[in-house]
Structure 1
């Protein structure tokens, strides 16, 4: 997979992709991540990439020319332009289903918004997806881009030490994950459930499903209702 990220602040990503699963995935050649500083495509020698909005109002808007130049540069660099994702609070809320879908793509271009956003004409001409990581506003799209990259890359074959680990994550089945335990067997008087020590894989699987159901019903009634609808119950 190739991921190109367009941002005003590339230094914000320092370290974000250099640890853990993302570092291993890059070292193994599973993903190539390239940062493209938007000011390198500025309209003048002063690095201007934004301007006042037509019609007035507070704040600035990212101009269309630098973004278009960056996208066309990426098109020439890669030979094509993959899905162009604009990180914005106005977008579709990121879900595990969306992450699964994006993990199958060969090329993603992430456009990090800033200020009041981007000129609408960029959305109309280039953007294929708009994604939000929640109903709140951040200073820009850089942190959402990091979240999206982490969620997608960990699903790439070979990224995790155990390929089945991702399949057991919360949301993959429509339910929250079951509780997990490790050593010691007793911690401050609290014991690991006996079924997990039994070695009976069928009973363990049934226990985990039951716990997932209970946890989802109690903590995320919205997910529980969705799960029931999808199960036809």
Structure 2
């Protein structure tokens, strides 16, 4: 995972996988299934030209062929499930893929990627540039990489980008500890009105799991 400064949110570009297995529109059914099995992925982007993403083939797109393998769907079922029955008879990626593909830009934040995955009920997103050219893949697992930041990294991030910035005159009186991703802030500060903001900003540090804010006003100041 690429490191960025603590004051800058991590983006999709920081956690995405840049080695991507992609299909072309004429990739055959068996080759698609073999690629998914070999690389242990549940979906693959389909590209054409110089890498422009035109669709995505997922396991769900392949399943109708197995579902209707032993019986032909009746007329009513065909009408009710036109998309699935069409895919059951398809043999190439261009006929199997879901299009347009749901994609994301490299500069999108991790929360934006997580929300898009949740809203669309998908596990992986092709990452594309402004021209739609494939640059990488980001998965749910990639988004969780941020929680692999060490406690020491998180402690330094909070101290530099929260405590020292909010409390330039009393930051030395604030102790920051992080254990298993849980941050604790203790001590006394001159401006008590900034305590809620300090808690909020600590929560927003990438990789923090929870925050215990025990800051108090320094009444003697």
Same fold (TM over 0.5): no
TM-score (norm 1): 0.30
Q: TM-score, normalised by structure 2?
A: 0.31
Q: Which has the larger radius of gyration?
A: 2
